[in-house]
Structure 1
Amino acid sequence: MKPGFEYSSVANLEDVQKFGSILEQCFLASPGEEEAWLKRMGVENIRLIHEEKQVVGGLVVIPMGQWWGGESVPMTGIAGVGVAPEYRGSGAALSLMQQTVKELYANDVPISVLYPATQRLYRKVGYQQGGSFCSWEIPASSIQIKEQPLPIKSVPLDSEIFYDLYTKQGQNINGYLNRNQTIWNRIIKSGEKEVFYSYILGSIAKPEGYIIISQYSADNDNILSVVDWVTLTNAATKTFWSFLSNHRSQIDKIRWRGSAIDNLTLILPEQTAKNRHIQRWMLRIINVEKALSARSYPSAVETELHLEITDDLIAENNGKFILSIANGCGNITKGGKGELKLDIRGLAPLYTGLFSPQQLQLAGKLDATEKIISTATQIFAGTSPWMADFF
């Protein structure tokens, strides 16, 4: 770490106030807004960077999980990274991120995810593009799906049923968050400025999905925003669209979060749904051995992949590893032939499946023979990774 910078957790509430003021300037927030956010996220999760005992920046760590191959892999999200304007370019942000990654490794965290304001900083500490965050929009009048196979019932926002349904969907989506309660609270607690309405798709005894919505006006349009949703069956997907279509007399546009290639849109009569916004979140493999052994793999694949990895920040991640796949599980040991060479950044999109091994080779992110590329493709095959939550 650069001499003069000191990394720490919060020592007192004055530190929280100082960091909150820095974030207000970073993110154009109202006075007191960021301090309140920090307290909601948990003071114990704040990490600060100091110079001569002066708070010059910080971030928030968010312990949770992320589904890969049907397994929830422990993951720490990084949010609220901010440095005071007079310290930008000084190396404070780099020191902050380097020490955070080292702390996560010391705490046996397999992977970490963040949403970057700039990729350059995070690539310096080993993060790389890992998956997509997409917002979709469709004119309500164009949905034209009238069939409603399932009943719809209004339920309270604090219903426990949401958690189980969400988990069932998350297990089938690479990159989906295994949310902690802080993330859930943003969905199941309406704010002062926004009212949420929640519904079960199907019967209470046998639900097949849910939808949580809000409504507002913007730019002379009435907007229905799908805050959160789950559809576990084709019947639930049809009911989802029928329910939204029934709002067309008052609602102009429907907005929701989905995959970059969203299967929800496949049953629409026309291609009237459009990507409104898309960005990539970044992932870092914090601990190579734990990350590769914690996730699941295609059950029909039984093979070995010999890796050679370089990591400028975490020395223990350097070297040759053998990833053995059988019965959907991965076992990793040190050693082997080092037939697929890549650095820790290149390992991230390989792990997530955002890009195929062949695509990563073309981009100069890994080096391997055609045979090894084929093996890696089988191991890391899966749907395009995405998540519905921004943090």
Structure 2
Amino acid sequence: MTDVEIRPITPDDDFDAQLDLGQRAFGVYSTQQKEGWLRVARLRASEGLFLGAFAGGVPAGAAMLHDMRQYWLGNPVDCAGVASVKVAPEHRGMGIGRQLMTELLGLIADRGYPLSALYPATVPIYRSLGWELAGAKHEFTIAARSLRELQPPDPQAATESQQTPRITRATPDDVSRVINAIGRSHLAARDAGPITWDEGPARQWLERPDLYAYLAAGVEEGDGFAAYRWAGGDTRELWVERVHATTPQALRALWSVIASNASVTRTVRGWTAPGDPFWWLTAERDATISRRAMWMLRVVDVPAAIAARGFPPGVSASVPMRTNDWARPANAGRWLLTVADGKGTMIPNGSLSSPDPLTLGPRGIAALYAGVSVATLHMSGLASGGTPEAGAQLDAAFAATPFMVDDF
């Protein structure tokens, strides 16, 4: 086997060769996809977030990282998004993918990210390095005509404000306002799983010529944001990229902008959350979940990830734990996990008095962080030990239904 060198891809590298590698792995890109990928790849290379594997000087594999914030119960946590992981067909089965991902995990830790997330093309390699299935993207489908009239507020429960938010077009120059609006909505909803980007890729996204984006401003700037495009380039199907709002009025106003296209389109689709208000806004029940795409999570720095995560304010917990993590030895040890006032802490050596603490490997840690119940962890072989009382405390503290609406 030819010796493999794994190193950062720099702006001076051959990006056409990297593009060819991507097309051999994932299929032929459209002209727009090529241009978008090259912009992002050059940006990540300039940031030192693009790793390549080279066999005899020839590209044999690559993977890149995205600098993101992932929201957990409303708290933004720094997260490295793993993307574009690929190995050339002629070099598959030689361990290059594992070498590449091992180096990438080290880079993630060196950059100080407590978390990492990815969408797997195949699961085993990522599980072997500590990632675990954590949440999903949910694709909804609804007949456009069903959006023409949104369900009005219940007069027995809600008082509808007379203030109508101001809707304006969002341009690339509004990138900071867009990021702020998205982040505010996740904070307000205490969401688990969704991400926000840094300004570089967010601006590139807003620069797409086929994207139609809008901001809502009511009492405050950044009350909401929505974006959509025509799927396939025609008007038969409308794809909702995202709808975010911090007030009921902004939410209805933004959905009304999308619904105004119902006279020319037949179907509306997009990614959403299982508990998104959208499901309670539609007048009929013909909106369906048509597809689900799972994503994986890796807790790279356990104490930092716990400290950054949000927890339910009314829940308290004090649970002895033991963790193992051969790939990140600093995560291994005995701990006392405490949760109070919406915050969590991992205290080292905190479970020495417990004869049989809950024991987790990196996959179990990731699943627990994402809200998987302790009983499920036990049944799936991701946990051992602990007491029923400890399990109940952890279930209440980590309860979440993680989702994403972004591709990366």
Shift of the alpha carbon at 1:260?
3.1
Any conservation in 2 of the 1:112–1:284 contact (CA below 8 Å)? yes
Shift of the alpha carbon at 1:144?
4.6
Shift of the alpha carbon at 1:124?
1.1
Any conservation in 1 of the 2:66–2:82 contact (CA below 8 Å)? yes
Shift of the alpha carbon at 1:112?
0.6
Q: Does 1:210 align with 2:241?
A: no
Q: Which residue of 2 aligns with 1:155?
A: 169
Aligned partner of residue 192 in structure 2, secondary structure: coil
**Cα separation, partners in 2 of 1:70 and 1:216, compared to 1, 3 Å:** closer
Any conservation in 1 of the 2:316–2:393 contact (CA below 8 Å)? no
Q: Which residue of 1 aligns with 2:125?
A: 121
Q: Which residue of 1 aligns with 2:13?
A: 14
Q: Which residue of 27, 36, 41 maps to 1:38? A: 41
CA RMSD of aligned residues (A): 2.6
Any conservation in 1 of the 2:2–2:55 contact (CA below 8 Å)? no
Q: Which residue of 2 aligns with 1:95?
A: 99
Q: Which residue of 1 aligns with 2:309?
A: 295
Q: Which residue of 1 aligns with 2:82?
A: 78
Any conservation in 2 of the 1:47–1:58 contact (CA below 8 Å)? yes
Q: Does 1:364 align with 2:381?
A: yes
Give the unaligned 5+ runs of structure 2: 153-159
Q: Does 1:180 align with 2:198?
A: yes
Any conservation in 2 of the 1:187–1:227 contact (CA below 8 Å)? no
**Cα separation, partners in 2 of 1:183 and 1:173, compared to 1, 3 Å:** farther
**Cα separation, partners in 2 of 1:14 and 1:208, compared to 1, 3 Å:** closer
Q: Which residue of 42, 56, 59 maps to 2:60? A: 56
Alpha-carbon distance in 1 for matches of 2:10, 2:223: 47
Paired residues for 1:1-391 under 5 Å: 4-10=3-9, 13-30=12-29, 33=34, 34-43=37-46, 44-145=48-149, 150-158=164-172, 159=174, 160-171=176-187, 172-191=190-209, 194=210, 196-203=211-218, 208-216=223-231, 222-335=236-349, 336=351, 337=354, 339-353=357-371, 355-367=372-384, 368-382=386-400, 384-391=401-408
**Cα separation, partners in 2 of 1:142 and 1:30, compared to 1, 3 Å:** closer
Alpha-carbon distance in 2 for matches of 1:242, 1:100: 43
Give the unaligned 5+ runs of structure 1: none
Letter in 2 for 1:111: L
Any conservation in 1 of the 2:167–2:216 contact (CA below 8 Å)? yes
Any conservation in 2 of the 1:339–1:372 contact (CA below 8 Å)? no
Any conservation in 2 of the 1:293–1:331 contact (CA below 8 Å)? yes
Any conservation in 2 of the 1:45–1:60 contact (CA below 8 Å)? yes
Shift of the alpha carbon at 1:130?
1.6
Any conservation in 2 of the 1:132–1:281 contact (CA below 8 Å)? yes
Aligned partner of residue 297 in structure 1, secondary structure: coil
Letter in 2 for 1:161: R
Alpha-carbon distance in 2 for matches of 1:216, 1:78: 26
Describe the superposition over 1:236-265 as per-residue Cα deviations: whole angstroms up to 9, x where unpaired: 333344333332211111122211343311
**Cα separation, partners in 2 of 1:81 and 1:267, compared to 1, 3 Å:** same
Describe the superposition over 1:192-215 as per-residue Cα deviations: whole angstroms up to 9, x where unpaired: xx2x22333354865532222222
Shift of the alpha carbon at 1:233?
2.0
Aligned partner of residue 113 in structure 2, secondary structure: coil
Any conservation in 1 of the 2:178–2:222 contact (CA below 8 Å)? no
**Cα separation, partners in 2 of 1:216 and 1:68, compared to 1, 3 Å:** closer
Letter in 1 for 2:26: F
Letter in 1 for 2:9: V
Shift of the alpha carbon at 1:229?
1.8
Any conservation in 2 of the 1:71–1:296 contact (CA below 8 Å)? yes
Alpha-carbon distance in 2 for matches of 1:127, 1:275: 26
**Cα separation, partners in 2 of 1:61 and 1:244, compared to 1, 3 Å:** closer
Aligned partner of residue 325 in structure 1, secondary structure: strand
Alpha-carbon distance in 1 for matches of 2:141, 2:275: 13
Alpha-carbon distance in 2 for matches of 1:376, 1:3: 48
Alpha-carbon distance in 2 for matches of 1:168, 1:261: 17
Aligned partner of residue 254 in structure 1, secondary structure: strand
Shift of the alpha carbon at 1:37?
4.4
Alpha-carbon distance in 2 for matches of 1:203, 1:286: 39
Shift of the alpha carbon at 1:116?
0.6
Shift of the alpha carbon at 1:88?
0.4
Alpha-carbon distance in 1 for matches of 2:272, 2:16: 36
Alpha-carbon distance in 1 for matches of 2:30, 2:147: 42
Shift of the alpha carbon at 1:164?
2.1
Letter in 2 for 1:89: G
Letter in 1 for 2:393: T
Any conservation in 1 of the 2:243–2:255 contact (CA below 8 Å)? no
